[in-house]
């Protein structure tokens, strides 16, 4: 405890400190920068503006889901000629201490000519709206249309059509550890090392090498301990270019750590979407068609995630239901706010709210119980595998496994839905109102094509796993060690897992999109299985028995039925080495590697249920009971799965009740510290009951495992919005459910009664 | 998140501190527990040339029962008051309210005097001291002064302390035995600055009628204010549901709190009135005799 080295703990001899000067304006032209005073301050080593970078600094590319023309909206490390959001980097200062660097940053004079910012994504769509990127002809950076079935016919035939504008507020991952990195160029070896990169070491190495115009083989990225990722941490940001660039320029080690105020305005925001949704139903509640048009406010620039967030929204809005027709138009809109990216269950937290709300609105109008209307419309087990008709980045969405009705029944039973309905009707204190909310959702897991693993039986008998997956604090070391121990037949305690150093592991993707167990685990399992065969074969030779007759139990190999003929793994490695040396082998050591390929995503699914009490007088919400039910296919480590789901739910509660990145009319981020941006703490998160089922293992990997990372978060906004709507008898159409928002709903509710 | 350069003094006696303030007062800030000042420094929102750190002045840290009053040294840590038997016996309202001040870690460092001198209208202690009719003892090289809460709190985070003056003691009158008190507040999370609150002190005579009534409001105005209309309406009456309801209506009509991103002014007006209502009912049920 307390010994982990996080980015800000990492030190090198003579290390310098960087700080970033950020724009105080949401939209302004830069007419000039005078950094002379800053450069002259004692202790200042370097001050750089965009003009000092080669070509003004390279555009940071998309690594996923790009569309033609989107490169026009990319961010460069430092603002050139124009700033487009409050917090945009304008200059970097390197000094002997962070104190001096911050003093110097204050001395840089920037001549700004401010403009009226565009903050509302719907205003940004107006034909007459100024362009956030003046060289483009639109504030729409990308668009997706998904259409199947006869929508007009569905709406013509409908007994009921419900329409609503439903929006999700801008909030963000906000990991407890802010971003940070250190870089050093060793002139003796020519190697540039960057410490503190999380999530995607190998991918980021490739991108960084390209940006810095530096040979990838002389660029080493090292992970360090990571205090939370959640999608936001570990992407390539301006600072990921600037710090190594300055390290090369100065030939000194440099560290930079983001403070919380910077983090809130510099690291990817997420979740800001406005949907116009319409649902057509028959009289018995059968879903005939779903129509949605939405904007995703991605802020000032398109960052590494390209179209991922709106793409995932459009792909998974259909959820676990059968729709006669589905039509969705998604637009990625730029405005003068902090750029956006993914956050745990990206695009799904938002659309689960939209879909599950509009279903409840319809159910109330039709007088059908919320569970019953869902039950009537679920995709049935015999329809699996089920092509939903949606797609993402060109890949069709195919629910490869699942029994949706079964999980709904199990969730209701675990939650005690019938009892909860009775509880809701009980007499309560005058100011209290009770409500129950449910939501059903389909998640996605496993993305990014492949993962690498090498499993080695080292001299002395220890097993070492080298994985291309990464740690974001999710327990990947534990899971990979378990999978390896299982596949190899050795003890968990004897397996050591290494990852997150591009010099030690030749290849890899990383940790994102609930993939580390699915892809990383499958690669380890595959490599370990191959290694097991080699070990048994070798042991058979040494013990003069058939390989099929050798058993591996813990660290001992023995011949079945003749246990006295045995040797330990350690002895095996010694004998193998000797034998190899004698044979003049060119491949010493016992080691196997594997690349596990999987282009298809998996689609785990879940149900969330809540019982709430709303205090009419204060607008506060007491979550009395909460259930997350989730089908994981196969839980490699049930404790970690449980923790993933609870942790995800905690973040979901934040988004539903507390967290909002608010801007004033000038485009200043008002929620710029933890006094304004409220995260749920341990005392704010209710007990979360977790039901993990293994009814539908995925056929996509040999483990049957589906990802667990995002299902906890994905539908908390939806579930609590439904529960509060039920309590008050008015329809919640936006988040968060802050006390003053709820007080407003109470007023509406009183007015309509 | 690093403060700009400043000079630093750490006196160990009150006299030494007063000398420094006499010399540098205009350019100096007094550093007590630092729970507000240090973040302001790190955000570069406060930029004093000099800090006079009074953490080393042991004579300013005490909790004393003295002749019908409770005396608190300005440097007394909030946690020390919270766990003090003397404070709990003589002034339960103060201890009740302290549970709402930030978190335990903040109260371990935060001081009674620091919270008063910082004068945040959303802070608990200034409101409680207003309800209790405390006296603030202030010293400088030119002599001592004693100020009432009404005279001390000028506006949002502004007091009538002169730059050369140091708040040294808070004197709280010990309430008669038949007094009931209650502190209620509502915050978005436990430990956050409250969106509204009320501290209520009510003495009840043998017939069950309210005699002295003091209700101080948290977050209603740029300083702690009293709900005078509500107080007047309750005086002489039994403290029951009807009285509490009337106090709520009168409070709602009397205040105009400002809004921020955590809640609009309208919302806060209703909320603070609800806090008055709830604090009266809670005071009535405290010690069980009333209503």
CA-nearest residue to B271 within chain A is A618
Note the pLDDT tens digit of each residue in A178-219: 999 999 999 899 999 999 988 899 999 999 999 999 999 999
Residue contact A261–B1, C-beta within 8 A: yes
Which domains are present in chain B?
A: 7-53 (3.30.43.10), 64-172 (3.30.465.10), 181-285 (3.30.390.50)
Per DSSP, A462 falls in state: -
Task: Please state, for a pLDDT cut of 70, what percent of chain A lies above it.
Answer: 99
Partner A, chain B 194-253, Cβ-Cβ below 8 Å: 195
Domain positions in chain A: 397-445+603-753, 450-597
pLDDT for residue A92 is more than 50: yes
Mean per-residue pLDDT, A52-76: 97
Residue contact A617–B274, C-beta within 8 A: yes
Residue A173: CB atoms within 10 A of its CB come to 23
From A492's Cα to the closest Cα of chain B, the distance in A is 40
CA-nearest residue to A262 within chain B is B1
Nearest of A253, A258, A256 to residue A228 by alpha carbon: A258
Residue contact B267–A660, C-beta within 8 A: no
Topology match between the domains A397-445+603-753 and A450-597? yes
Q: How far is CA A555 from CA A428, A510, A572, A573, in A?
A: 63, 30, 10, 12
**Residue A316: which pLDDT band, with cuts at 50, 70 and 90?**
very high
DSSP H/E element including A674: none
Torsion of CA B107, B108, B112, B118, to 10 degrees: -70
State the Cα angle at A363 between A362 and A368, rounded to 5°: 150
Neighbouring-strand partners of residue A227: none
Nearest residue, CB atoms, A102 vs list B2, B270, B274: B2
From B267's Cα to the closest Cα of chain A, the distance in A is 6
Nearest residue, CB atoms, B189 vs list A98, A261, A681: A681
Find the helix packing angle between A348-366 and A370-377, rounded to 10°.
110
How many Å separate Cα B101 from the centre of its chain?
A: 10
Q: Where does A397-445+603-753 sit in CATH, by number? A: 3.30.365.10
Per-residue model confidence (pLDDT) at position A585: 63
Per-residue model confidence (pLDDT) at position A586: 60
Torsion of CA A481, A482, A488, A491, to 10 degrees: 90
The structure tokens listed for A274 are: 């406005």
Q: For A665, what's the count of Cα atoms within 13 Å in the CB-facing half-sphere?
A: 0
Q: In A, which residues are within 8 Å of B190 by CB distance?
A: 681, 683-684
Residue contact A739–B190, C-beta within 8 A: no
Higher pLDDT, A52 or A470: A52
**Residue A90: which pLDDT band, with cuts at 50, 70 and 90?**
very high
Q: In B, which residues are within 8 Å of A103 by CB distance?
A: 4-5
Tell me whether B262 touches chain A (CB under 8 Å).
yes
Tell me the Ramachandran region of residue A60: left when phi exceeds 0, alpha when psi lies from -120 to 50, beta otherwise: beta
Size of interface A-B (CB pairs under 8 A): 65
Residue A580: CB atoms within 10 A of its CB come to 15
pLDDT for residue A134 is more than 80: yes
Residue contact A740–B274, C-beta within 8 A: no
Tell me whether B258 touches chain A (CB under 8 Å).
no
Q: How far is CA A64 from CA A217, A337, A576, in A?
A: 23, 22, 45
**Residue A722: which pLDDT band, with cuts at 50, 70 and 90?**
very high
Neighbouring-strand partners of residue A140: A333
**Terminal CA-to-CA distance of chain A, rounded, Å?**
57
Question: What secondary structure does DSSP assign to A38-53, as a single string?
Answer: HHHSTTEEEEEEGGGS
Per-residue model confidence (pLDDT) at position A588: 62
Residues 6+ apart with CB under 8 A from A128: none
Cβ–Cβ < 8 Å for A550, A559: yes
Residue contact B261–A671, C-beta within 8 A: yes
Per-residue model confidence (pLDDT) at position B290: 32
Tell me whether 0.90 is exceeded by the ipTM: yes
Cβ–Cβ < 8 Å for B54, B73: no
Q: In A, which residues are within 8 Å of B272 by CB distance?
A: none
From A364's Cα to the closest Cα of chain B, the distance in A is 29
Higher pLDDT, A563 or A42: A42
From B4's Cα to the closest Cα of chain A, the distance in A is 7
Tokens 């068609």, located at residue: A289
Nearest residue, CB atoms, B261 vs list A102, A103, A670: A670
Buried/exposed code over A663-701 (b: 16+ C-beta within 10 A; e: otherwise) = beeebbbebbeeebbbbbeeebbbebbbbbbeebbbebb
Q: For A204, what's the count of Cα atoms within 13 Å in the CB-facing half-sphere?
A: 30
Most B-contacting residue of A97, A259, A617 (CB-CB within 10 A), to test interface: A617
From A85's Cα to the closest Cα of chain B, the distance in A is 20
CA-nearest residue to B267 within chain A is A740
Question: What secondary structure does DSSP assign to chain B, as a single string?
Answer: --PPP-EEE--SSHHHHHHHHHHHGGGEEEESS-TTHHHHHHTTS---SEEEE-TT-GGG--EEEETTEEEEETT-BHHHHHT-HHHHHH-HHHHHHHTTSS-HHHHHH-BHHHHHHHT-TT-HHHHHHHHHT-EEEEEETTEEEEE-HHHHEEETTEES--TT-EEEEEEEEPPPTTEEEEEEEE-SSTTSPPSEEEEEEEEE-TTSBEEEEEEEEESSSSS-EE-HHHHHHHTTSB-SHHHHHHHHHHHHHH--PPPBTTB-HHHHHHHHHHHHHHHHHHHHHGGG---
Q: Is the peptide bond before A385 cis (omega within 30 degrees of 0)?
A: yes
Q: How far is CA A179 from CA A104, A248, A258, A338, in A?
A: 22, 21, 6, 16
Note the pLDDT tens digit of each residue in B235-245: 999 999 999 99
Tell me whether B192 touches chain A (CB under 8 Å).
yes
- Dihedral sign for Cα atoms in the order A128, A132, A138, A144: negative
Q: What are the mean pLDDT values of chain B's consecutive 10-residue runs (291 residues total)? A: 96 98 95 96 95 98 95 98 96 96 97 98 97 98 97 97 98 93 96 96 91 96 97 95 97 96 96 98 70 29
Distance separating alpha carbons of residues A87 and A318, to the nearest angstrom: 36
pLDDT for residue A644 is more than 80: yes
Per-residue model confidence (pLDDT) at position A1: 56
Tokens 């490699």, located at residue: A636
Q: Where does A450-597 sit in CATH, by number? A: 3.30.365.10
Q: In A, which residues are within 8 Å of B189 by CB distance?
A: 658, 678, 680-681, 683-684
Q: In B, which residues are within 8 Å of A260 by CB distance?
A: 1
Q: Is the peptide bond before A736 cis (omega within 30 degrees of 0)?
A: yes
Nearest of A605, A633, A690, A629 to residue A404 by alpha carbon: A605
Phi, psi of A640 (to 5 degrees): -70, -40
Residue contact B1–A260, C-beta within 8 A: yes
Q: What is the pTM of this model?
A: 0.96
Per-residue model confidence (pLDDT) at position A587: 62
Q: In A, which residues are within 8 Å of B267 by CB distance?
A: 619, 739-740, 743-744
Nearest residue, CB atoms, B4 vs list A103, A620, A743: A103
Distance separating alpha carbons of residues B23 and B145, to the nearest angstrom: 19
Distance separating alpha carbons of residues A180 and A172, to the nearest angstrom: 17
Residue B209: CB atoms within 10 A of its CB come to 15
Cβ–Cβ < 8 Å for B132, B201: yes
CA-nearest residue to B188 within chain A is A739
Strand locations in A383-477, DSSP E? 386-392, 395-399, 432-442, 450-457, 463-467
Mean per-residue pLDDT, A596-618: 95
Per-residue model confidence (pLDDT) at position B288: 38
Per-residue model confidence (pLDDT) at position B291: 29
Cβ–Cβ < 8 Å for B164, B142: yes
Residue contact B193–A675, C-beta within 8 A: yes
The structure tokens listed for A517 are: 């167990």
The mean predicted confidence, pLDDT, of chain A is 95
Cβ–Cβ < 8 Å for B165, B145: yes
Tell me whether B173 touches chain A (CB under 8 Å).
no
Cβ–Cβ < 8 Å for B171, B71: yes
Per-residue model confidence (pLDDT) at position B287: 58
The structure tokens listed for A638 are: 């049930």
Residue contact A660–B261, C-beta within 8 A: yes
Question: What secondary structure does DSSP assign to A610-642, as a single string?
Answer: EEEEEETTT--EEEEEEEEEEE-S--SSHHHHH
Burial of residue B185, with CB atoms counted within 10 A of its CB: 0-12 exposed, 13-18 middle, 19 or more buried: buried
Burial of residue A549, with CB atoms counted within 10 A of its CB: 0-12 exposed, 13-18 middle, 19 or more buried: middle
Phi, psi of B186 (to 5 degrees): -130, 125
Q: Which residues from A are below 8 Å from B when comparing CB atoms?
A: 98-99, 102-103, 106, 259-261, 617-620, 658, 660, 662, 670-671, 673, 675-676, 678, 680-681, 683-684, 738-740, 743-744
Most A-contacting residue of B100, B189, B196, B273 (CB-CB within 10 A), to test interface: B189
Residue contact B263–A739, C-beta within 8 A: yes
Mean per-residue pLDDT, A121-141: 96
Nearest of A328, A319, A233 to residue A278 by alpha carbon: A328
Distance separating alpha carbons of residues A673 and A261, to the nearest angstrom: 5
Distance separating alpha carbons of residues A421 and A433, to the nearest angstrom: 13
Helix (H/G/I), strand (E/B), else coil: A748: helix
């Amino acid at each position: 405890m307390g010994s982990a080295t996080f980015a800000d703990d990492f030190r090198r001899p003579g290390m310098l400190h960087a700080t970033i000067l950020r724009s105080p304006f949401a939209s302004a032209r830069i007419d000039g920068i005078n950094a002379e005073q800053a450069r002259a301050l004692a202790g200042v080593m370097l001050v750089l503006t965009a003009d000092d970078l080669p070509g003004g600094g390279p555009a940071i590319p998309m690594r996923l889901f790009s569309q033609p023309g989107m490169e026009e909206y990319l961010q460069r490390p430092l603002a050139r000629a124009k700033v487009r959001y409050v917090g945009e980097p304008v200059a970097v200062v390197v000094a002997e201490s962070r104190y001096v660097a911050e003093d110097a940053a204050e001395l840089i004079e920037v001549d700004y000519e401010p403009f009226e910012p565009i903050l509302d994504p719907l205003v940004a769509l107006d034909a007459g709206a100024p362009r956030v990127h003046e060289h483009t002809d639109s504030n729409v950076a990308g668009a997706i249309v998904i259409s199947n079935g006869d929508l007009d016919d569905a709406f013509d035939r409908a007994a009921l059509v419900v329409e609503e504008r439903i929006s999700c507020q801008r909030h963000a991952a906000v990991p407890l550890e802010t971003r940070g990195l250190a870089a050093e160029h060793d002139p003796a070896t020519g190697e540039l090392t960057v410490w503190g990169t999380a999530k995607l070491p190998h991918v980021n190495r490739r991108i960084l090498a390209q940006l810095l115009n530096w040979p990838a083989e002389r660029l080493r990225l090292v992970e360090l301990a990571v205090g939370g990722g959640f999608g936001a941490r570990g992407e390539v940001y301006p600072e990921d270019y600037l710090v190594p660039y300055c390290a090369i320029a100065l030939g000194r080690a440099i560290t930079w750590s983001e403070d919380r105020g910077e983090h809130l305005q510099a690291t990817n925001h997420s979740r800001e979407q406005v949907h116009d949704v319409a649902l057509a139903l028959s009289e018995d509640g059968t879903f005939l068609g779903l129509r949605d048009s939405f904007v995703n406010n991605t802020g000032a620039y398109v960052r590494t995630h390209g179209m991922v967030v709106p793409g995932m929204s459009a792909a998974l809005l259909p959820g676990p239901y059968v729709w006669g027709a589905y039509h969705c138009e998604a637009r990625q809109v730029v405005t003068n706010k902090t750029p956006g990216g993914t956050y745990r269950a990206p695009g799904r937290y938002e659309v689960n709210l939209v879909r599950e709300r509009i279903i409840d609105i319809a159910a109330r109008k039709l007088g059908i119980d919320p569970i019953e209307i869902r039950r009537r419309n679920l995709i049935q087990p015999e329809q699996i595998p089920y092509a939903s008709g949606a797609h993402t980045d060109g890949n069709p969405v195919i629910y490869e496994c699942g029994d949706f009705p079964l999980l709904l029944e199990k969730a209701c039973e675990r939650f005690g839905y019938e009892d909860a309905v009775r509880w809701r009707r009980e007499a309560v204190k005058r100011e209290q109102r009770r409500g129950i909310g449910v939501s059903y959702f389909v998640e996605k897991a496993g993305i990014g094509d492949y993962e690498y693993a090498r499993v080695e039986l080292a001299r002395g008998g220890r097993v070492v796993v080298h994985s291309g997956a990464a740690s974001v604090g999710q327990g990947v070391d534990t899971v990979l060690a378990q999978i390896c121990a299982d596949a190899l037949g050795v003890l968990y305690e004897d397996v050591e897992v290494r990852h997150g150093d591009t010099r030690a592991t030749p290849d890899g993707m990383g940790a994102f999109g609930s993939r580390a167990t699915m892809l990383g685990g499958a690669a380890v399992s595959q490599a370990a299985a191959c290694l097991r065969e080699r070990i048994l074969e070798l042991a058979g030779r040494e013990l003069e028995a058939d390989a099929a007759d050798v058993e591996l139990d813990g660290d001992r190999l023995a011949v079945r039925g003749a246990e006295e003929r045995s040797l330990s793994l350690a002895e095996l490695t010694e004998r193998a080495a000797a034998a190899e040396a004698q044979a003049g082998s060119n491949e010493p050591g016992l080691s196997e590697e594997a690349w596990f390929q999987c282009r298809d995503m998996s689609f785990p699914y879940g149900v969330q249920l809540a019982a709430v009490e709303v205090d009419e007088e204060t607008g506060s919400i007491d979550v009395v009971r909460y259930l997350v039910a989730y089908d994981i296919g196969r839980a490699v480590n049930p404790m970690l799965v449980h923790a993933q789901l609870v942790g995800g739910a905690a973040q979901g509660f934040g988004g539903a009740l507390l967290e909002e990145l608010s801007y004033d009319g000038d485009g200043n981020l008002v929620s710029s510290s933890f006094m304004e941006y409220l995260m749920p703490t341990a005392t704010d998160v209710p007990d979360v009951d977790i039901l993990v089922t293994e009814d539908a293992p995925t056929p996509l990997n040999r483990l049957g495992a589906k990802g667990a990372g995002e299902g906890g978060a994905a539908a908390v906004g939806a579930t609590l919005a439904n529960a509060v709507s039920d309590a008050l008898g008015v329809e919640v159409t936006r988040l968060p459910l802050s006390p003053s928002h709820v007080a407003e709903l109470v007023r509406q509710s009183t007015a309509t009664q | 998140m690093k403060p700009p350069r400043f000079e630093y003094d750490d006196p160990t006696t009150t006299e030494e501190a007063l000398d420094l303030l006499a010399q540098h007062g205009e350019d100096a800030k007094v550093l007590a527990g630092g729970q507000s000042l240090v973040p302001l420094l790190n955000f570069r929102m406060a930029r004093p040339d000099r800090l006079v750190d009074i953490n080393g002045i042991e004579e300013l840290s005490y909790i004393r029962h003295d002749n019908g009053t409770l005396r608190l040294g300005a440097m007394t840590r909030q946690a020390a008051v919270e766990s003090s038997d003397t404070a709990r016996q003589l002034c339960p309202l103060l201890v009740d309210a302290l549970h709402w001040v930030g978190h335990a870690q903040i109260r371990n460092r935060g001081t009674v005097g620091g919270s008063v001198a910082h004068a945040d209208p959303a802070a608990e202690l200034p409101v409680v001291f207003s309800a209790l009719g405390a006296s603030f003892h202030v010293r400088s090289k030119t002599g001592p002064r004693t100020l009432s809460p009404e005279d001390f709190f000028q506006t949002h985070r502004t007091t009538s302390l002169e730059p050369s003056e140091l708040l040294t003691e808070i004197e709280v009158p010990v309430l008669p035995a038949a007094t009931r008190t209650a502190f209620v507040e509502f915050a978005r999370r436990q430990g956050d600055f409250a969106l509204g609150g009320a501290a209520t002190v009510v003495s009840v005579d043998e017939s069950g009628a309210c005699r002295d009534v003091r209700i101080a409001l948290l977050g209603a105005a740029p300083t702690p204010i009293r709900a005078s209309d509500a107080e007047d309406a309750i005086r002489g009456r039994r403290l029951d549901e009807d009285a509490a309801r009337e106090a709520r209506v009168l409070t709602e009509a009397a205040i105009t709190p400002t809004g921020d991103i955590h809640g609009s002014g309208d919302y806060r007006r209703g909320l603070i009135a609800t806090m008055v209502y709830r604090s009266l009912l809670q005071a009535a049920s405290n010690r069980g005799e009333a209503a």
